[in-house]
Amino acid sequence: MNRQAAGPPLRPFASVSVALRIVAVAVLLLVAGAAYYELHASRKALIADTERQMARLDMVFAEQTSRAVEAVDLLVMGAQETVQAQQPNLEGVDEILRRRMRGVRQVAAILVVDREGQPIVSTDPDRSATPPDVVEALLVRYRADPRAGLLISPPFRVADDKWNTLLARPTCAPDGTLTGMTVGSINLSYFEEFYRSVELNENGAIMLHLRDGTVLARFPHVDKAIGTSFGNLPPFTEVLAHATAGTLLMESPVDGSIRISAIRSLRAFPLAVLVSVEQKRILADWRHEALALIAVALLLGGAVVVLLLSLSRRSSQVEQLLDETHVAHEMAERAKDRLLQQLSERERTEGALRQAQRIEAIGQLTGGVAHDFNNLLTVVLGNVDILQRRAAMNGLSGGSSERLTAIRAAAERGATLTGHLLAFARRQPLMPKAIDLNATIRGMRDLLDSALGMRARTSFRLADDLWPTMADQSQIELVILNLVINARDAMPDGGIITIETNNNRIDEITSHDGPPAGDYVSITIRDTGTGIPPEVLGRVFEPFFTTKPPGAGSGLGLSQVFGTARQSGGGARIESEVGRGTVVTVDLPRAMAEPMRTSVGLRDMDLKGSNASILLVDDDDQVRGVTAAMLQDLGYKVRDVGSGEAALRILANDAGIDILLTDLVMPEMNGSQLATAAKARWADLLIVFVSGYADQVGDTLGAGDRLIRKPFNANDLYRTVEATLAERQGVLSGI
C-alpha cells in the first residue's frame, strides 16, 4: 500500500531529475564558454586599453618634443633676422646669440654660413657641434632646392659620445636664390633625459625619429640604434604613410620582442615620436587572472552540478514551497490592491513631502561629511605637496616619490568624490564659466563607461566648430550622467546611447518653459530603448514623478536636469515614441568668451611667489599649519592665527600685511564677518576666502571676491594669490 501511494509522485520526480541533469551539462558548457569569452574579451580589452594609454602618452611626448624643437627653430629664425639686420657690421652678434641660447638646454650651438659654407656668425668656434661635413650636406640640398624649408640632419657624434643633430633653415635673396643658411645644433641627450624623467612602465621605450625612420634618440639608450633607419617598419610604411598617428603591434628591431607601439608625427617638423611597451609584460597579470578564472570556473561548475543533484532530490519540496509562495504572493497582491484603493491624494502629497524631507536630510548629511573630508583632504594634499616640492628641490626620487604620487592621486580622487557629494547636497551654488562642452564630454568617457557597464555602449557625435557655453561644469557633468543613466535604464536588453553636440539658434520662444531667443549650445542624448507613452511624456520633468518600480528611482533625475538647465539660462526638451527610443536635448547659453585653457607652465615645485606678506586665518590647526607651510615654500611671508579676533589684532599692529587669507566657516567670527570688519578699517587690504563647504558662499561672497575651494594645492594658492596681487597692481596703475 505504501509503494502504491508513493508511486505517482516518483514519476514527475524522475522527469525533473533528468531535466536537472541536462541543465547541469548545459551549465557546465555555459560556464566554460563564458570563461573563454571573458578571457578573450579581457585580453582584447587590456591590449586596447594599453594602446589608448600609449597613444595618449605618445601625444604628450610629441607635444613636448615639438615645443623643444620649436624653441630651437625660433632661435634659428631669430639668428637669421639678427644677422640680416646687423649686416655688414656683425661684431658682437655671436655674443647676442649666446645670450639667447642661455636657458635653452637643448641647443648646443648656432651657426650662420654663406652659400659656400663659410661661417659668418658662430657660437661654436671649434665646430665640434656643427661639423663642416654635416653642414655641407645640408647646403647641397638647399643649393638643389632653395625653397626646401626646414631640414633636420641625421644624427652625429660629439664629445663624450653624445649625439647631436642640426636643424637648418635657408636664407634666400628676394629673387629666390640661395644666399646662405642658418643651423642650430640640437643636443639629443636632452630628449633622452626628458623621456627618462617620465618613469615608463618596465620594458617601455621611447624613440625620436626623423620622418624617414632614422633614429635620433632613444630611452633606454641603445647606442647602436642611433642613426639607424627603420623606415621599412610598419609604423612608417603603414601608419605615417597614411595618417599622422596610430597604434599597432610589431616586432622590435632592437630586441626582437613583440611590442604595443604608438607613433605620432610632429605637426611642424619632419619628426615622429614612437612609444612602445613589451606585450609580454602587459599580459603577465592577465595570465595570472586567467588561471584564477579557470580555477573559479571549474569550482563553480562542480558546485553547480552538486547543487542541481541536490535540487533533483528535493524537487517535490521545492514545488510545494513554490505553491505556498504563489498563494502568499496572491494574498499580498490582493492586500496591496486594497491598500492602493484606500490611498487618497492627500496621502500621496504627504508621501512626496516626506520624500523631500528625506532628500533634504540626506543632503545635509552628505554636505557635512563632505565638509569634514575637505579639511582632511586639504591636510593630506598639502603635506604631500610640501614633501614632493622639497624632495624635488633636494633632488630625491625613487620609491618615496612614487608613494607620494600615489597618495596625491588617491586624495585627489577623494576630492572629486566630495565635490560630487556637495553637488548632490546642493551645498554649492552654480559657478558658471565659459567651458568647452566637447572637452567636458570627452573627459567623462571613463565615468560613463563605468556607469553603463556591459548593458549599453556610447556613440559620440561632437560638432567640430562648437561654440563655448556658459555653465557650471560640475553640474553639467551631473546632467549628462543623469541622462545617460536614464537612457541605460530605458534599454533593458542593451543598445546604443548617442551623445551629440550642436550649435543652435532659437529665434522665438516656442513654449512657456522654453529658453529666450538667442544662441545656444545643445547637447542631445538619444537611446534605442522602450520609449515613453504620450500620456506620461508631459510629466517626466515633474519632481518625484517616476515610472520605475519602488526603490529603483527617486523621480528627481530629470527634474534636476530641467532645473539646472533653467538655472543656467537655457532649457530642456524631450521627444519619445514607444518602441523607438527617447531623445532629450538640453540647451545652454552660448558664452562670448573663450574657455580658459590650462597653461603648461611651471611645475608645482618650480613655482615661486612674490615677496608678499599674508595673514592666514583658520580655526583648524592642521589645515592652518599645512597651508602656512605651502605659502612659505612658495616664498611668501606668512603669519597665521586661529580666530577672527586675533587676526584683527595683528592687522591693527602690522601695516605690512598685503593679503588676508581667511576660512569662511569659523566659530564666533566667521570669514565674512572678519572680511567686513577688516575692509571697514583697511580699505586697501586684499582678501581671499577659503572654504570646503559652500552652503553660505552665495550669500557671503560679493562680485570680484576670490575663493579657494578645499582641498587645494600649492598651485591653487599660487595662482589665486598672484592673480589677486596682479589685479591690485592693475588698479593702481590705472589699467
Question: In this predicted structure, what is the pLDDT of residue 8?
Answer: 45
Q: Other CB atoms closer than 10 Å to residue 268's CB: what's the count? A: 10
Cα–Cα distance, 659 to 395 (Å, whole number): 32
What's the per-residue H, E or C state across 182-200?
A: EEEEEECHHHHHHHHHCCC
Amino acid at 643: S
Separation in Å, CA 277 to CA 289, 292, 480, 604: 20, 25, 35, 29
Q: Name 471's bridge partners.
A: 433
In 3D space, the residue among 38, 37, 28, 36 whose CA is nearest the CA of residue 307 turns out to be 28
Average pLDDT, the chain: 80
Secondary structure class of 564 (helix, strand, coil): helix
Average pLDDT rounded to a whole number, residues 314-328: 69
Amino acid at 325: T
Contact 83, 90 (CB under 8 A): yes
Q: Other CB atoms closer than 10 Å to residue 564's CB: what's the count? A: 22
The ranges assigned to domains in the chain are 87-187, 437-589, 605-733
Average pLDDT rounded to a whole number, residues 453-480: 85
Question: In this predicted structure, what is the pLDDT of residue 502?
Answer: 93
Q: Looking at the predicted structure, is the pLDDT value of residue 262 above 60?
A: yes
Q: Looking at the predicted structure, is the pLDDT value of residue 696 above 60?
A: no
Cα–Cα distance, 24 to 305 (Å, whole number): 5
Question: In this predicted structure, what is the pLDDT of residue 6?
Answer: 44
DSSP structural state of residue 172: E
Which residue is associated with the grid cell 583658520?
Answer: 618
Model pLDDT for residues 329-357, shown as the tens digit of each residue? 888 888 787 777 777 556 655 654 565 55
Contact 489, 555 (CB under 8 A): no
Model pLDDT for residues 514-551, shown as the tens digit of each residue? 788 889 999 999 998 888 888 777 777 766 666 666 54
By percentage, how much of the chain surpasses pLDDT 90?
Answer: 20
Amino acid at 715: N
Angle formed at CA 211 by CA 209 and CA 213, multiple of 5 degrees: 55
Cα–Cα distance, 630 to 405 (Å, whole number): 17
Average pLDDT rounded to a whole number, residues 439-453: 82
Contact 123, 97 (CB under 8 A): yes
Question: In this predicted structure, what is the pLDDT of residue 359?
Answer: 52
Q: Looking at the predicted structure, is the pLDDT value of residue 432 above 80?
A: no
Q: Looking at the predicted structure, is the pLDDT value of residue 506 above 70?
A: yes
Answer with the residue of higher pLDDT: 559 or 291: 291
Cα–Cα distance, 519 to 466 (Å, whole number): 12
CATH topology of domain 87-187: Beta-Lactamase (3.30.450)
- Beta strands in 495-636, from DSSP E residues, in sequence order: 495-506, 518-526, 571-577, 581-589, 613-617
Question: In this predicted structure, what is the pLDDT of residue 468?
Answer: 92
CATH topology of domain 437-589: Heat Shock Protein 90 (3.30.565)
Cα–Cα distance, 209 to 212 (Å, whole number): 8
Q: Looking at the predicted structure, is the pLDDT value of residue 238 above 60?
A: yes
pLDDT band at 13 (very low <50, low <70, confident <90, very high): very low
Question: In this predicted structure, what is the pLDDT of residue 599?
Answer: 44
Model pLDDT for residues 94-113, shown as the tens digit of each residue? 889 989 888 888 998 999 99
DSSP structural state of residue 596: P
Which residue is associated with the grid cell 531623445?
Answer: 583
Model pLDDT for residues 707-735, shown as the tens digit of each residue? 888 888 888 888 888 888 887 765 444 43
* Distance in Å from the first CA to the final CA of the chain: 111
pTM of this structure: 0.41
Cα–Cα distance, 499 to 679 (Å, whole number): 49
Question: In this predicted structure, what is the pLDDT of residue 166?
Answer: 94
* Beta-carbon contacts of residue 62 (< 8 Å; ≥ 6 apart): 245, 264, 265, 266, 272, 273
Question: In this predicted structure, what is the pLDDT of residue 350?
Answer: 63
Cα–Cα distance, 73 to 492 (Å, whole number): 58
Average pLDDT rounded to a whole number, residues 11-35: 72
Q: Looking at the predicted structure, is the pLDDT value of residue 182 above 90?
A: yes
Cβ burial, residue 630 (10 Å; 0-12/13-18/19+): buried
Question: In this predicted structure, what is the pLDDT of residue 5?
Answer: 43
DSSP structural state of residue 204: E
Average pLDDT rounded to a whole number, residues 579-601: 76
Question: In this predicted structure, what is the pLDDT of residue 600?
Answer: 39
pLDDT band at 415 (very low <50, low <70, confident <90, very high): low
In 3D space, the residue among 667, 665, 723, 669 whose CA is nearest the CA of residue 689 turns out to be 665
Q: Name 584's bridge partners.
A: 525, 574
605-733: what CATH class?
A: alpha beta
Answer whether 87-187 and 605-733 agree in fold.
Answer: no
pLDDT band at 181 (very low <50, low <70, confident <90, very high): very high
Model pLDDT for residues 34-63, shown as the tens digit of each residue? 878 888 888 888 888 888 888 888 888 889
Model pLDDT for residues 603-655, shown as the tens digit of each residue? 455 667 778 899 999 998 998 998 998 888 888 999 999 999 999 999 988 87
Amino acid at 637: K
Cell numbers placing 670: 566667521
Contact 186, 164 (CB under 8 A): yes
Answer with the residue of higher pLDDT: 9 or 730: 730
The number of angstroms, rounded, from the C-alpha of 75 to the middle of its chain's C-alpha atoms is 34
Q: Are strands 495-506 and 456-462 parallel, antiparallel or unpaired?
A: parallel
Amino acid at 274: L
For residue 700, which phi and psi values (nearest 5 degrees)?
A: -105, -30
Answer with the residue of higher pLDDT: 214 or 297: 214
Q: Looking at the predicted structure, is the pLDDT value of residue 423 above 60?
A: no
Secondary structure class of 77 (helix, strand, coil): helix
Cα–Cα distance, 683 to 308 (Å, whole number): 82
Cα–Cα distance, 45 to 301 (Å, whole number): 26
